[in-house]
Structure 1
Amino acid sequence: MSRLAFYLIVGVLLTAGIAMTAHRHLQFEIPWLPGEQRQVWEVEAMITFNAEDGPVSVDFALPSHQQGYRVLTENTASSGYGLAYEASAYGRRANWTTRSAVGQQQLYYSVQLLVSPESRVNAPPPPKLAAATAWERPYGTAARQVIERAWSRSADNATFARELIRDINGERQGENARLLLTQFEATELIVRLLHQAKVRARAVSGLTLENGRRRQTLNSWIQVYSEDDQQWWLFNPATGEQGKPENLLLWEAGGEAVLEVEGGRDSRVTFSMLTHSQPAAAAVRNHHSDDTLLNFSIHSLPLEEQALFQTILLIPIGALVVVVLRVLVGIKTSGTFMPVLIALAFIQTSLITGLLGFLLVVAVGLVIRNYLSYLNLLLVARVSAVIITVIAIISVFSVIAYRMGLNAGLTITFFPMIILSWTIERMSILWEEEGPKEVMIQGGGSLMTAVVVYLAMNNPVVRHITFNFLGVQLILMALILLLGNYTGYRLLELRRFKPITDDEPGT
């Protein structure tokens, strides 16, 4: 393979891994670090009405993902009612129905909202202009004069809406505005005047979030569509201030009624709210995000499989550490990736318990393997005997630890028995061919490498990143390929040149 093709593959892996990782963080707000906290609001809506002893249909607007907030979970309590959710370009609604109801009725809807300043959603399409409605005299003349006065002091739709609101509700309120307010509610009047001026607008309902508040009601706000930049602008109909306050949740943003009850009277909806913090990772897992290829994650699997993959995804980290220590540092190990498997056992047993268990099993195993060498057995039979011996050693140590009340000793069963058996076999052969010094070098290198791998894999940040960002696996693959192309000196080999520097004058 040409060098160009090699570096092209590495570049593609790095680019794809970084892009997938950045997409998970930016699009789905997966935090980079574990333990990050996110603010969550719990809002409960209570709908009350008097049923008229007949069929009842309750239509209620629901909040959606919007700028600053994401819906995590939602629940309802409506005994005896059927429930259906409906979604359109203008928002979501819940519809409760029943064949017969009489007397006081209460329906509950609760939602958890994640505070997400980075959250952005596609704006709903602009509404059609309402058909012109004839004004009764003298209201028509007053409406035209109010529109002309605000229009002359504006430059676009947004500034026109601001000036119109101030003329209706502000200090500049004149006789024409006061006359119109005798027949119309302020928000309804402002929207009607905006439509008359060919400006697309609608009244929306928002909830001001304040911790610990009960029996709160929705407030009216006005959205104005700007033809120039094709986006919505939100205005306070009382003051004319433009922009969305941080603690404002738009409950109904389609310009429709918040609550409609058929078969009942005296309907009312009130809201209670609380806020708390929870781990960011847990909050993100509850997002109502589509499970698409771009949102590919382990979180879609059952919890049992998630726990399994949380450990499996750490193995590439261990492989990278082994490659660095063997290729760049030059540490010798007994088996290429045996330290990774030993480090996985350390994660289950804890480091100190794992080290003691490993040394005990290998030491006793070497003594027994030394005896087996005098029997002149075939390789397969000898290794099989070592495997049985390792199992017996682990069983004996576990029973002894239990009898002594050392529960930590029971975790020695997590060691990979086949790998331990081959390690004992390989060290025994090495002892016979190279001597005890080489056994100590490779055995010590294996243990040191296993400890370094354990520290890397057991790091909370590493565990969080490998589990939540699968693109990291591609980045690790690219780094390992680059290290596999290294042909320079290892750090431990530099000691060979020390005699040369010692012989140089002045050293």
Structure 2
Amino acid sequence: MSRLPFYLLVSVLMLAGIGLTLHRHLQFDVPWLPGEQRQVWEIEAQVNLTARGEPVIVDMALPSHQQGYRLLTEHTASSGYGLAFREENGGRRAQWTIREASGSQQLYYTVQMLVAPDAEAPAQALPALPRQILWERPYDTAARQVIERAWARSASPFTFARELIRDMSGDRQSENTRLLLTQYDRAPLLVRLLNQADIAAREVSGLRLEDGRRRQSLAPWIQVFDGNDWALFHPETGEQGRPDDLLLWESAGEAVLEVQGGSNSRVSFSMLTHNQPAASAVRSQLADDTLLNFSIHSLPLEEQALFQTILLIPIGALVVVLLRILVGIKTSGTFMPVLIALAFIQTSLSTGLIGFLLVVSVGLVIRSYLSHLNLLLVARVSAVIITVIAIISIFSVLSYRFGLNAGLTITFFPMIILAWTIERMSILWEEEGPKQVLIQGGGSLLTAVLAYLAMNNPWIRHITFNFLGLQLVLMALILLAGNYTGYRLLELRRFKPVAED
């Protein structure tokens, strides 16, 4: 029979698991290692205005995902106001509304931005050029001469913008530029001149991030387009490029703040930075699951804690498969060591080993007596279950009386599995002797300890919880191991005399 479908299935599982894992790391910045820290900026915008006793509408631009930053959380404080978030002209805006207000009003908006150096800027729509730009005399002549002077010393839209800004600064200022600056603000003037030269450009607003700053204001920047590419220019210095500490608050070329029904409106910004674990820093990004971002972070915390343990079971299953199929270790029950390893996680390894050996040893003694009663299987196993419960209860009470609180965790052992383990070992003792009991019991304990070490590793706990695509990789590895039909390592001892000869 052809093995091609089998290998195709394994390849699909492996590629899908690796692809989903890489997607979550690259797209959502989920860290590979536990304990990694991320820098987060918390920025508060305070809007102040004076209401005139009539309906008030406050419309403010909001930041979004951009180059170097990802939006984590945002919330507002606006007592009595209605609030709506909306998308408009490629930008995000918040709109506060109230039927009637008078006097001084304060509105607050707080956002957390994650510093993500690998975050890419979203695609920017090319702004439409105005059909006609009108200048009053004599500003039309001055504008034309300023454009001609910068055009002659440039070779592209970006170099033209740089030369235009330099002509408005320092010693290079001419009579024409000084005349234009008496009538127009610098940033809107630059946009008008660029548009007249058939270069798409717009004014955007950015915030320079500095820890502990208060009552800061936005600064204008010029965004110049060259086909599909764009660049930022400082309107005062002509510096090209986006500084690392610049957060674009409004990038659609719209007004930052618009107020109806009020006067003396202004917005100021305060900011703080702090570090927090990377896993919690990106958790809000993982709350909204999609097909490629399937995660359990949207579940309540209680269920998340439960799944954090459940997702470790495939790791234990892989350890059992490798030890039984490739090494040849014998265990009492196929996946009993995995359940024992889960109990070790709750009890600690030393306490778990001592508790397991005590319960099984006493259980075997009592089971040997039950064998003389000639009970049916169901009744005998039920009696063993009750015996295991009694043993665990007695050990818990005694450990508490002697001040050994660690002994109370023995209750985490799976009682049904322990009962069946005692039953199987008792039958094995009667049929094949104590040697096989020691071999299989020791193999079970060794497998459980190795599974515990793998499942309790902080890195493994981190990646299994945060990268569900790894479950597909584990499935592929288990399928590959299940296809092995060669010799086991422990079976090679039979060939030792041949090797010696």
Question: Residue 461 in 1 paired to residue 469 in 2?
Answer: no
Q: Determine if contact 2:69/2:114 at 8 Å carries over to the other structure.
A: yes
Within 5 A, what are the aligned runs for 1:20-419? 20-227=20-227, 230-287=228-285, 290-419=288-417
Q: CA 1:413–1:113 in structure 2 vs 1: closer, same or farther (change >3 Å)?
A: same
- For 2:272, what is the secondary structure of its paired residue? strand
How far does residue 391 in structure 1 lie from its aligned partner after superposition?
1.1
Q: Determine if contact 2:38/2:277 at 8 Å carries over to the other structure.
A: yes
- For 2:123, what is the secondary structure of its paired residue? coil
Deviations 1:155-182 (A, max 9, x none): 2211111111111225422121111111
- For 1:48, what is the secondary structure of its paired residue? strand
Deviations 1:356-412 (A, max 9, x none): 110010000000000011111121221111111111111111122222222211111
How far does residue 289 in structure 1 lie from its aligned partner after superposition?
7.0
Question: Residue 492 in 1 paired to residue 490 in 2?
Answer: yes
Q: Determine if contact 2:286/2:295 at 8 Å carries over to the other structure.
A: no
Q: Structure 2 CA distance, aligned partners of 1:77 and 1:484? A: 59
How far does residue 185 in structure 1 lie from its aligned partner after superposition?
0.8
Q: Determine if contact 2:65/2:122 at 8 Å carries over to the other structure.
A: no
Deviations 1:392-438 (A, max 9, x none): 11111112222222221111111111110110011111111111111
Q: CA 1:270–1:458 in structure 2 vs 1: closer, same or farther (change >3 Å)?
A: same
Q: Structure 1 CA distance, aligned partners of 2:205 and 2:364? A: 77
Q: Determine if contact 1:45/1:110 at 8 Å carries over to the other structure.
A: yes
Q: Structure 2 CA distance, aligned partners of 1:42 and 1:401? A: 50
Under a length normalisation based on structure 1, what TM-score does the superposition of the two structures give? 0.96
Deviations 1:214-240 (A, max 9, x none): 11111000001112xx12211111111
How far does residue 49 in structure 1 lie from its aligned partner after superposition?
1.6
Q: Structure 2 CA distance, aligned partners of 1:25 and 1:213? A: 32
How far does residue 244 in structure 1 lie from its aligned partner after superposition?
0.6
Q: Structure 1 CA distance, aligned partners of 2:247 and 2:286? A: 18
How far does residue 288 in structure 1 lie from its aligned partner after superposition?
7.4
Q: Determine if contact 2:75/2:110 at 8 Å carries over to the other structure.
A: yes
Q: Structure 1 CA distance, aligned partners of 2:113 and 2:302? A: 28
Runs of 5+ unmatched residues, structure 2: none
Q: Structure 2 CA distance, aligned partners of 1:193 and 1:290? A: 44
How far does residue 500 in structure 1 lie from its aligned partner after superposition?
2.6
Q: Structure 1 CA distance, aligned partners of 2:273 and 2:420? A: 57
Within 5 A, what are the aligned runs for 1:420-439? 420-439=418-437
Aligned residue for 1:12? Answer: 12
Q: Determine if contact 2:21/2:468 at 8 Å carries over to the other structure.
A: yes
Q: Structure 2 CA distance, aligned partners of 1:216 and 1:64? A: 19
How far does residue 86 in structure 1 lie from its aligned partner after superposition?
1.5
Question: Residue 476 in 1 paired to residue 464 in 2?
Answer: no
Deviations 1:277-305 (A, max 9, x none): 01111111112775211111111222222
Q: Determine if contact 2:286/2:298 at 8 Å carries over to the other structure.
A: no
Deviations 1:33-68 (A, max 9, x none): 111100000001111122222222111111111111
Q: CA 1:271–1:459 in structure 2 vs 1: closer, same or farther (change >3 Å)?
A: same
Q: Which amino acid aligns with 2:224?
A: V
Q: Determine if contact 1:123/1:231 at 8 Å carries over to the other structure.
A: no
- For 1:43, what is the secondary structure of its paired residue? strand
Q: Structure 1 CA distance, aligned partners of 2:170 and 2:418? A: 83
- For 1:358, what is the secondary structure of its paired residue? helix
Select between 424-433 and 298-307 the one with higher mean Cα deviation: 298-307
- For 2:172, what is the secondary structure of its paired residue? coil
Under a length normalisation based on structure 2, what TM-score does the superposition of the two structures give? 0.97
Q: Determine if contact 1:166/1:172 at 8 Å carries over to the other structure.
A: yes
Q: Structure 2 CA distance, aligned partners of 1:234 and 1:126? A: 14
- For 2:270, what is the secondary structure of its paired residue? strand
Q: Determine if contact 1:170/1:238 at 8 Å carries over to the other structure.
A: no
Q: Structure 2 CA distance, aligned partners of 1:330 and 1:134? A: 87
Q: Which amino acid aligns with 2:231?
A: W
Q: Structure 2 CA distance, aligned partners of 1:326 and 1:354? A: 23
Q: CA 1:289–1:179 in structure 2 vs 1: closer, same or farther (change >3 Å)?
A: farther
Q: CA 1:233–1:170 in structure 2 vs 1: closer, same or farther (change >3 Å)?
A: farther
Question: Residue 441 in 1 paired to residue 439 in 2?
Answer: yes
Q: Which amino acid aligns with 1:55?
A: P
Q: Structure 1 CA distance, aligned partners of 2:89 and 2:285? A: 20
Q: CA 1:306–1:262 in structure 2 vs 1: closer, same or farther (change >3 Å)?
A: same
- For 2:242, what is the secondary structure of its paired residue? coil
How far does residue 494 in structure 1 lie from its aligned partner after superposition?
2.1
Q: Structure 2 CA distance, aligned partners of 1:171 and 1:7? A: 73
How far does residue 133 in structure 1 lie from its aligned partner after superposition?
3.0
Q: Structure 1 CA distance, aligned partners of 2:458 and 2:363? A: 34
Q: Determine if contact 1:347/1:458 at 8 Å carries over to the other structure.
A: yes
Q: Structure 1 CA distance, aligned partners of 2:172 and 2:205? A: 26
Q: Which amino acid aligns with 1:467?
A: F
Q: Structure 1 CA distance, aligned partners of 2:422 and 2:440? A: 12
Q: Determine if contact 1:50/1:105 at 8 Å carries over to the other structure.
A: yes
Q: Determine if contact 1:123/1:232 at 8 Å carries over to the other structure.
A: no
Q: Structure 1 CA distance, aligned partners of 2:199 and 2:56? A: 37
- For 1:205, what is the secondary structure of its paired residue? strand
Deviations 1:452-507 (A, max 9, x none): 000000001101111111111111111111111112222222222222333x2xxx
Q: Determine if contact 2:286/2:297 at 8 Å carries over to the other structure.
A: no
Q: Structure 1 CA distance, aligned partners of 2:71 and 2:286? A: 7
How far does residue 205 in structure 1 lie from its aligned partner after superposition?
0.4
